Amino acid sequence: MWIRLIPIIFFSLSALSLLTFQSVEIVHAFFDLISNGPNKLD
């Protein structure tokens, strides 16, 4: 039972961390777009 549980926990933790980092980057890009305006992306 524990041998089956370890990879499940590992993969769900890695998926959660990837999802968290991606959402943080989306929020940062959204706030950059709001603060700089759409014409100042360069």
Question: Looking only at Cα atoms, what is the longest distance across the chain?
Answer: 56
Q: What is the pLDDT of residue 9?
A: 94
Of 2 and 12, the one with more pLDDT? 12
Measured CA to CA, the distance from residue 42 to residue 35 in angstroms comes to 14
Reported as a single tens digit per residue, the pLDDT across 25-42 is 999 988 888 887 666 555
**What share of the chain has pLDDT > 90, as a percent?**
60
One-letter identity of residue 34: I
Query: What integer best gives the mean pLDDT of the chain?
Result: 87
> Residue with structure tokens 């992306």?
41
Measured CA to CA, the distance from residue 42 to residue 40 in angstroms comes to 6
Entry pTM: 0.60
